[in-house]
């Protein structure tokens, strides 16, 4: 009986495998194993740097994932978010709190010692994001590499980044501008299954949200009480709270179950339940058949990450290979 009940999964797994194969097609001039000859240990060196940081502080994983996301949405995945300076991307208000720069720098230092002038900072970011998810009990995937680093980093261009305050319409527009659809939007939002935010980014939902003293009505009453305890009125705005109340250190599907139940922490996340199309995708990931939906989300997240990490990349003779990630050559 157990064998019969599991047989129906076989067609799905075959279909997913076929879809995975099509996803592996390189985007632009990116390809899997780009450094196999020029720097064979490149991916292992990045992995080692991420593992070392993760061992000391597991919360670095969502930080590195967010860093890659923020890089790709501004001028494409070109490492421009890593450049320091008073008017650079990383100084923009939208990039408040991004972290993980020291991990990328550590990997770059080792790579320059092993293969000088070969591996781009943009590729280090893409690899570090993958390794961060893997270390958080999420999926792993082959990362197409061959990106080159951008030479321009402007704080003013960070306005295109999605915001915790965004409506579905605003989120949809920002993702569509990068060639990403609703399925990508919801799937990538699932990255919030790991990590934390600060009270200042969501406490406005808890007090006088409607200008009549009421909280955001989309928050479940039981969760509202928990959030108000964590983030009291006029409390410490820098206090950190989990984005996924059930398992913020584990990459799983509980984020979608929370959104379905009205337990999304960020307004932009909870808004995924307001729109018929995004709600359908959330429901698919929040399903109750044990194991199946976790498997599907892992697969779809890997696919969406490969797609996002190919946004507006610089390859060939475009850009450069930075010697130090925080400044242009």
Over residues 152-168, the pLDDT tens digits come to 999 999 999 999 999 99
* pLDDT given at position 295: 62
Rounded alpha-carbon distances, angstroms, from residue 271 to 17, 150, 227, 263, 267: 31, 34, 17, 11, 6
The conformational region for residue 139 under phi > 0 = left, psi -120 to 50 = alpha, else beta, is beta
Mean pLDDT value across residues 287-294:
57
Alpha carbon 226 to chain centroid distance?
26
Whole-structure pTM value? 0.89
**Annotation: binding site:** 71, 74, 76, 78, 80, 89, 162, 192-193, 244, 252
Mean pLDDT value across residues 183-188:
97
Mean pLDDT value across residues 200-216:
90
* 170 pLDDT more than 90: yes
Using only C-alpha atoms, the chain has a radius of gyration, in whole angstroms, of 20
Burial class (CB in 10 A: 0-12, 13-18, 19+), 2: exposed
Rounded-to-integer distance, Cα 67 and Cα 130, Å: 12
* Assigned token pair, 324: 């130090």
Rounded-to-integer distance, Cα 70 and Cα 89, Å: 9
* 2 pLDDT more than 50: no
* CA contacts within 13 A on the Cβ side of 233: 8
Mean pLDDT value across residues 173-193:
97
**Annotation: binding site for heme b:** 192
The neighbouring-strand residues paired with 241 are 197
Over residues 12-38, the pLDDT tens digits come to 444 444 444 333 333 558 999 999 999
* 129 pLDDT more than 50: yes
**Annotation: binding site for Ca(2+):** 71, 74, 76, 78, 80, 89, 193, 244, 252
**Annotation: binding site for substrate:** 162
* pLDDT given at position 11: 40
Give the range among 210-224, 253-267, 279-293, 301-315 with minimum mean pLDDT. 279-293
> Does 70 participate in catalysis according to the annotation?
yes
Q: Is 147 helix (H, G, I), strand (E, B) or coil?
A: coil
* pLDDT given at position 21: 38
* 44 pLDDT more than 90: yes
Q: How confident is the model at residue 7 (pLDDT cuts 50, 70, 90)?
A: very low
Using CA atoms in the order 138, 188, 277, 172, what is the torsion angle rounded to 10 degrees?
A: 180
Q: Is 320 helix (H, G, I), strand (E, B) or coil?
A: strand
Q: Which helix (H) or strand (E) holds 165?
A: none
Alpha carbon 270 to chain centroid distance?
17
Buried/exposed code over 196-223 (b: 16+ C-beta within 10 A; e: otherwise): bbbbebbbebbeebeeeeebbeebeeeb
Q: How confident is the model at residue 249 (pLDDT cuts 50, 70, 90)?
A: confident
The neighbouring-strand residues paired with 242 are 196
List the one residue out of 98, 110, 51 whose CA is nearest residue 72: 98
Count the neighbouring beta carbons within 10 Å of the beta carbon of residue 77: 28
* pLDDT given at position 248: 83
Rounded-to-integer distance, Cα 156 and Cα 85, Å: 13
* pLDDT given at position 194: 96
* 306 pLDDT more than 90: yes
* pLDDT given at position 293: 59
Over residues 70-114, the pLDDT tens digits come to 999 999 999 999 999 999 999 999 998 899 999 999 999 999 999
Rounded-to-integer distance, Cα 160 and Cα 171, Å: 10
Catalytic-role residue among 68, 70, 183, 248: 70
Give the range among 18-22, 135-139, 237-241 with minimum mean pLDDT. 18-22
* 5 pLDDT more than 80: no
Rounded alpha-carbon distances, angstroms, from residue 211 to 168, 206, 232, 234: 21, 11, 18, 16
Buried/exposed code over 238-257 (b: 16+ C-beta within 10 A; e: otherwise): eeebbbbbebbbebbbbbbb
* pLDDT given at position 18: 41
Q: How confident is the model at residue 213 (pLDDT cuts 50, 70, 90)?
A: confident
Residue-averaged pLDDT of the chain? 90
Handedness of CA 101, 102, 105, 110 (dihedral sign): negative
* pLDDT given at position 291: 47
* pLDDT given at position 246: 81
* pLDDT given at position 16: 43
**Higher pLDDT pick, 292 / 305:** 305
* pLDDT given at position 211: 80
């Amino acid at each position: 009986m157990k064998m019969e009940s599991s047989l129906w999964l076989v067609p799905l797994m075959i279909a997913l495998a076929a879809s995975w194969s099509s996803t592996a097609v390189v985007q632009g001039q990116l390809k899997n194993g780009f450094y196999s000859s020029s720097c064979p240990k490149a991916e292992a060196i990045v992995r080692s740097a991420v593992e070392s940081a993760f061992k000391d502080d597991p919360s670095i994983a969502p930080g590195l994932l967010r860093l890659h996301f923020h890089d790709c949405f501004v001028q494409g995945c070109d490492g421009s978010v890593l450049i320091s300076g008073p008017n650079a991307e990383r100084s923009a208000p939208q990039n408040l709190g991004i972290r993980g720069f020291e991990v990328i720098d550590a990997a770059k230092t080792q790579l320059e010692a092993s293969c000088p002038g070969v591996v781009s900072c943009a590729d280090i970011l893409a690899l570090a994001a993958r390794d961060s998810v893997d270390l958080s009990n999420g999926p792993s995937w082959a990362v197409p590499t061959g990106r080159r680093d951008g030479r321009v980093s402007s704080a003013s261009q960070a306005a295109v980044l999605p915001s915790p305050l965004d409506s579905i319409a605003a989120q949809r527009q920002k993702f569509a501008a990068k060639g990403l659809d609703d399925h990508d939007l919801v799937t990538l939002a699932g990255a919030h299954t790991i990590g934390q935010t600060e009270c200042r980014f969501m406490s406005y939902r808890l007090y006088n949200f409607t200008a009549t003293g009421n909280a955001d009505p989309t928050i479940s009453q039981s969760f509202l009480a928990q959030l108000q305890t964590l983030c009291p009125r006029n409390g410490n705005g820098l206090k950190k709270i989990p984005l996924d109340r059930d398992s913020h250190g584990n990459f799983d599907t509980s984020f979608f179950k929370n959104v379905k139940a009205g337990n999304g922490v960020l307004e932009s996340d909870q808004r995924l339940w307001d729109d018929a199309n995004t709600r359908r995708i959330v429901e698919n990931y929040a399903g109750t058949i044990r194991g199946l939906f976790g498997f599907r989300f892992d697969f779809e997240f890997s696919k969406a990450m490969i797609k996002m990490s190919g946004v507006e990349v610089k390859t060939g003779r475009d850009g450069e290979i930075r010697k130090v990630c925080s400044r242009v050559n």
